[in-house]
Structure 1
Amino acid sequence: MKKLVLAVVTVAAVLAAALIPSGPPVQAANGGFGSAVSAIKQLSWQTNSSVNALATAGNVVYAGGLFTRIRQPGKAAGQGEAVRTYVAAFNRTTGAPLAFAPKLNGAVWAIATSPDAKWVVIGGDFTTVNGIKRNHIAMFSVATGRLVSAWDASVATRVKAIAIFGNSVFFGGSFGRVDNTVRNHLAAVRLIQGDLLPWNPNADDDVYAIDLSDNGTRVFVGGPFTKINGKDHYSLAMVDNGRGNAFAFPAAAAIPKPTIGCTTRVKDIDTLGTKVFVSNGGDGGGCYDGVLAADVATGKLLWQNKCLGATEAIKAIGNWVYKGSHAHNCSSSGAFGDGTGTHYLLVESGIDGKIGPWFPNTDANPNSTTQVGPLAFASGGNDLWVGGDFLHVNGKVQQGLTRFTNAAGGAAPAAPKVPTVSTAVTNQVSVSFKDSYDLDNLTLTYNVFRGSTNISSQKFTTYYWQPRKTITVVDKGVKRGQSVSYHVEIHDGRNIMKGPAIAVKVK
């Protein structure tokens, strides 16, 4: 990424000046932010432990995980709590909980909703729901919140991933049998009837992720497996929706095979339009942890981002791919290097994979079983719900669950400080100030005022992890003996931050 350089300009030149380094595409910040959602955390309830899975159905958000309680926004653990055993539902608009509160006897690892928003299917470690036998998978009515009594598919062990298309529910996990029939790690049942379908890709190890193309003809699966139907398909495969036969998938070759020092596996998959996005997490120093994009129809690799720090969750919204990870080094993609901290929440351009303008952050609960931060995403199109093992969001208490929206405004730029001035040259003043940053914009407008007169307007693209750079404007519109004052204002498209003024007498 090209560094900003010291800019020294005259008043005549600054009106057209712009210094924008190469980098990701920057959308106009019409709502005060550059990507699909802002970096401002909106109100939502919390959980007392990890959220592993999220899904939306209309104005309802479903969350599943290891939690047994939910609590009010801003409250500390143990305060303002309500019982929810491993699964809960929330109002997408307000973040408040709904009455949906089935009693499970084990954790939830996967949730999917039907495209018509009528049904929600959960999977995990549980074997009973409300005291009724349900082996690792269950379906509920979105309208009533009730368990569908006639839908009783039985899975031998954990269900880790679910996707629904048409009248089929596709799922993966650690199991070897479904309804007492051999199904190794992947299976499908009918949505309404719950009976087993012929779909049988026969993976040789666990499946962590599953999603379908928008037209339902391609099923994408990922995890630590090495074979599909006895043939080599390491960690990522594209199969048909009938029998589960694998298609050629050239992009899968971008995922390195295991070595003594590195084992990487697919953690999440999300499709949107003509693209499928795939995230990985690796064990070992420098092991592949990034995100790739491929063509849904051909499987051709479109781009690959190789940030280090396992990517646990991804969600595509428009031309943006949001990622939940513990990224600590994205220097290979022209962004931050080691030593800038852990960037748990990021966005990448869906066009080329470069880091985009969205930098809220979480932490990771050191006492959790996962200790990685964000673990799951869901979106209704104009928002992003984030679940995980975190304790804080943007420095404020918010455990397990949070949300971001496209409400206008976004994060404001960091306020400018008082500029420095120099009158070393007769009949002119040099005004110097540091650039700023914004957590949901890259390009900011810097306006320099002499009193109430705008003498300079420039645009610069900056990232908050970069060292702050000095910008100098030379004002030649003054005369010797004149007393003037200068201040800087920074504009992100909606928010304006005004800095303090400094007075000076022109020499």
Structure 2
Amino acid sequence: MKKLVLALVTAAAVLAAALIPSGPPVQAATPGFASAVSAIKQTSWQTNNSVNAIAIAGNTVFAGGLFTRLRQPGKLSGQAPETVRTYVAAFNRSTGAPTSWAPTVNGPVYSIAVSPDGKWVVIGGDFTVVNGLRRAKIAMFSVATGKIVQAWDPVFTARVKALAIYGNSVFIGGAFRSIDGVTRNRLGAVRLLQGDILPWNPNANNDVYAVDVADNGTRVFVGGPFSTINGKDHYSLAMLNNTTGAAFAFPAAAAIPKPTATCTTRVKDIDTLGDKVFVSNGGDGGGCYDGVLAAQVSTGKLLWQNKCLGATEAIKAIGNWVYKGSHAHDCTSTPNGFANGSGTHYLLVESAIDGNLGPWYPNTDANLKSTTKVGPLAMAGTDTDLWVGGDFLNVNGKPQVGITRFTNAPGGAAPGVPKAPTLSATTSGRVYVTYSDTYDLDNLSLTYNVFRGSLSVGSTKYTSYFWQARKSYQVVDRGLKRGSTYSYHIEVHDGRNIMKGATATVKIP
């Protein structure tokens, strides 16, 4: 049932409101959106197939995946010449245009990491040759020159799926069973500058999908479909010593359910920020855990867990927000969440403080002809921007294949245009102005101004999620002259953008 609120505006309030003019307000100090980035898709080139991994070094964005070509923004396949990029490419972070970096790689790329100093970029995947050189699933390049580091040549026996770099260590996860002929079951490490194998040997009994290092370097977090680390029970998630690979106690990992006859879930992505680590899951089976949890790095304690359904393939923490790429379809388990049947919400944001859904609702689709068919697959970002890769074909309803970006450029999405209000007049000189709320794709709280002509007769802020049924509110305008006709309209603003609705008129009987 729609909620009806009666807002009685006193004569004094009406007089004060008369000082507020109709039309766009003076530009607000706020950016026009409520999370770290807006829901507006910024211009960037596209790929011709899925993007599986993204990393950022300075003003360069590295992407890897299944693609072999790039094409201009807004162009469909065949509408413009395409630029050859075999499984890996780099983009200008400010413009979204491709750089000249164009290694020749002979197989898919599934992971990318850049060194904290921004000097080196490492790629991992299924390839065996890079720029004509033998490379067994992994290769390193200089960010400054774009050249492959020829002397850096670790040998892996199977897919490198996950990479993380800290100090002079490259932590690696995947499907391999050895590094340089030395047994390393799906987890291992090499030195960044030399490429030789390190003692780090957690020994996972199944594949590893995600690896990340705490910001202070003291913990390495790993996730995937494994069930043991060094022969001990650690289902799908573990917190490891950065030197020995020994597993620490990690109470938060108990929040991930172990396999049953109807549910198998596994960690898909991990991201650390400060003293928090965020972990996303994807499950098989109806109602199987697909959500995101947050834990404390220093203690391993569970801080919160969001249990939206629809596998979460990628996450990125920026400030107090955790952006997620998923095919979420049921978030009834979270406050103000959406029910099953409301559609698939491929891009969402959750509060890093409590896990509740936040104010960011752009959307993609999923390419049902791709190998993954899930939509977003990878995320990378900074304090000012977020890059998303995946198997999607459209972003916010417009063609954009494989990769897209969002920034904190002021403006954001505008609120929806409010409908004309419904008016009811009485012989006592009152008009009851009833209006419906609207929504904004990157704000929850919107200000609704009710105008009689150019005079504001009410201003109230309400919270709304776009998937909720629209709610109705009411303002009473008093002291009007009998026999006179008055016009009313609603203006909605988010701190920077303002939308004016149609006018309705009424005569006082």
Instruction: Indicate the TM-score class for this superposition, using the shorter chain for normalisation.
Output: over 0.9
In structure 2, runs of 5+ residues without a counterpart are 15-27
Distance in structure 2 (CA, Å) of the matches to 1:14 and 1:330: 43
**TM superposition shift of 1:381:** 2.1
State yes or no: 1:399 paired with 2:401: yes
- What residue is the counterpart of 2:380 in the other structure? 378
Q: Which SS does the other structure have where 1:455 is aligned?
A: strand
SS in 1 for 2:446: strand
Aligned positions of 1:138-157 closer than 5 A: 138-157=139-158
Superposed displacement of residue 446, structure 1: 0.2
What is the rounded CA distance, in whole Å, between the counterparts of 1:102 and 1:493 in structure 2?
45
SS state at 1:332 partner = coil
Task: Report the counterpart of residue 8 of structure 1 in structure 2.
Answer: 6
**1:295-444 superposed matches below 5 A:** 295-334=296-335, 335-444=337-446
Q: Structure 1 residue 116 and structure 2 residue 114: aligned?
A: no
Contact 1:446 / 1:459 at 8 angstroms: preserved in 2?
yes
**Closer/same/farther in 2, CA of residues 311 and 29 from structure 1, 3 Å limit:** farther
Q: Report the Cα distance in structure 1 between the residues aligned to 2:386 and 2:66, rounded to whole angstroms.
A: 21
How far off its partner does 1:8 sit?
1.1
CA distance in 2 between partners of 1:490 and 1:13 (Å) = 23
Structure-1 separation of matches of 2:99 and 2:382: 17
Q: 2: distance between equivalents of 1:165 and 1:348?
A: 27
User: Is 1:262 paired with 2:263?
Assistant: yes
- Cα distance in 1 for partners of 2:235, 2:479 equals 67
Q: Is the 8 A contact 2:427 2:508 kept in 1?
A: no
Amino acid at match of 2:205: D
Would the alpha carbon gap of residues 489 and 300 (structure 1) be closer, same or farther in structure 2, given more than 3 Å must change? same
Q: Given the alignment of the two structures, is residue 42 of structure 1 paired with residue 42 of structure 2, yes or no?
A: yes
Q: 1:236 — aligned with what?
A: 237
For 2:29 and 2:416, the matched residues in 1 are separated by 16
CA shift, 1:29, in A, is: 8.6
Note if contact 1:10-1:476 (Cα within 8 Å) is conserved in structure 2: no
TM-score normalised by length of structure 2: 0.96
Name the SS for the 2:254 alignment partner. helix
- Rounded to whole Å, the distance in 2 between the matches of 1:448 and 1:281 is 46
Aligned to 1:76: 76
The match for 1:292 is 293
- 1:29–1:441 Cα contact (<8 Å) kept: no
SS in 1 for 2:333: helix
Match of 1:21 in 2: none
Aligned ranges for residues 266-277 of structure 1 at < 5 Å? 266-277=267-278
Answer whether contact 1:58 1:380 (CA < 8 A) is retained. no
Aligned match of 1:20: none
SS class of match (1:280)? strand
2:373 maps to a residue whose letter is Q
Q: 1:481 maps to which residue? A: 483
Tell me what 2:32 maps to: 32
SS at match of 1:252: helix
Distance 1:157 1:372 in 2: 24
Paired residues, what number? 494
Q: Take 2:72 and 2:267, find their aligned partners in 1: how far apart are those partners?
A: 34
Q: Aligned partners of 1:246, 1:4: CA distance in 2, in Å? A: 52
SS at match of 1:437: coil
d(CA) in 1 for partners of 2:383, 2:372: 28
Q: Does structure 1 conserve the Cα–Cα contact (< 8 Å) formed by 2:46 and 2:71? A: yes
Per-residue displacement from partner, 1:256-280 (whole Å, max 9, x unpaired)? 0000110000000000001000000
Partner Cα distance (1:464, 1:80) in 2? 38
> How far does residue 14 in structure 1 lie from its aligned partner after superposition?
11
Where does residue 18 of structure 2 map in the other structure?
none
1:51 aligns with 2:56: no
For 2:219 and 2:294, locate their aligned partners in 1 and report how far apart those are by CA, in whole Å.
Answer: 15
State the 1:201 CA deviation. 0.3
Deviation at 1:15, TM superposition (A): 6.1
1:70 offset after TM fit, Å? Answer: 0.7
Does the 8 A contact of 2:51 with 2:67 survive in 1? Answer: yes
Task: Name the SS of the counterpart of 1:251 in structure 2.
Answer: helix
In structure 1, the residue corresponding to 2:253 is in which secondary structure? helix
Deviation per residue, 1:240-297 (Å, 9 max, x gap): 1101000000000000000011000000000000100000000000000000000001
Judged with a 3 Å threshold, the aligned counterparts in structure 2 of structure 1 residues 470 and 130 are, in CA distance, closer, same or farther, namely same
The offset of 1:418, in angstroms, is 1.2
Task: Give the partner amino acid of 2:287.
Answer: G
Which residue identity lines up with residue 318 of structure 1 in the other structure? G
Shift of 1:483: 2.1
Q: Is the 8 A contact 1:135 1:154 kept in 2?
A: yes
Partner residue in 1 for 2:20: none
| Distance (Å, rounded) in 2 between the aligned partners of 1:30 and 1:13 | 31
Q: Residues of 2 paired with 1:421 and 1:261: CA distance? A: 54
CA distance in 2, matches of 1:120, 1:372: 27
With normalisation by structure 1, the TM-score equals 0.96
- Kindly indicate whether the alpha-carbon contact (under 8 Å) linking 2:426 and 2:508 is maintained by their aligned counterparts in 1: no
On the 8 A contact 1:45/1:72 being kept in 2, the answer is yes
SS of equivalent residue, structure 2 residue 429? coil
Mapping of residues 207-222 of structure 1, within 5 Å: 207-222=208-223
Query: Does the aligned pair in 1 maintain the 2:318–2:382 contact within 8 Å?
Result: no
Identity %: 70
SS at match of 2:10: helix
State the alpha-carbon separation in 2 of the partners of residues 14 and 313 from structure 1.
52
Structure 2 CA distance for aligned equivalents of residues 297 and 322 of structure 1: 23
Counterpart of 2:23 in structure 1 is none
* 1:19 match: none
Q: Distance in 1 between matches of 2:259 and 2:479?
A: 66
Cα offsets for 1:65-91 (capped at 9, x unmatched): 000001100000133310000000000
Distance 1:265 1:428, change over 3 A: same
| Cα distance between partner residues in 2 of 1:387 and 1:400 | 5
In structure 2, do the counterparts of structure 1 residues 14 and 410 end up closer, same or farther at CA, with 3 Å as the change threshold?
farther
Does the 8 A contact of 1:485 with 1:502 survive in 2? Answer: yes
Whether the aligned pair in 2 keeps the contact of 1:88 and 1:101 (CA below 8 Å) is yes
Higher mean Cα deviation, 207-216 or 426-435?
426-435
Contact preservation (8 Å) 1:170, 1:187: yes
Which residue number in structure 2 is paired with residue 25 of structure 1? none
Shift of 1:13: 9.3
Contact 1:14–1:457 (Cα < 8 Å) also in 2 = no
CA distance in 2, matches of 1:380, 1:476: 51
- Assess, with a 3 A threshold, how the Cα gap between structure 1 residues 267 and 425 changes in structure 2: closer, same or farther: farther
Per the alignment, in what secondary structure is the counterpart of residue 504 of structure 1?
A: strand
Q: 1:15 to 1:81 in 2, by over 3 A?
A: farther
Deviation at 1:426?
2.6
- 2:463 counterpart (454, 461, 464): 461
SS at match of 1:157: coil
- The residue identity in structure 1 corresponding to 2:416 is A
Q: Per-residue deviation at 1:5?
A: 2.2
The separation in 1 between residues aligned to 2:416 and 2:225, in whole angstroms, is 43
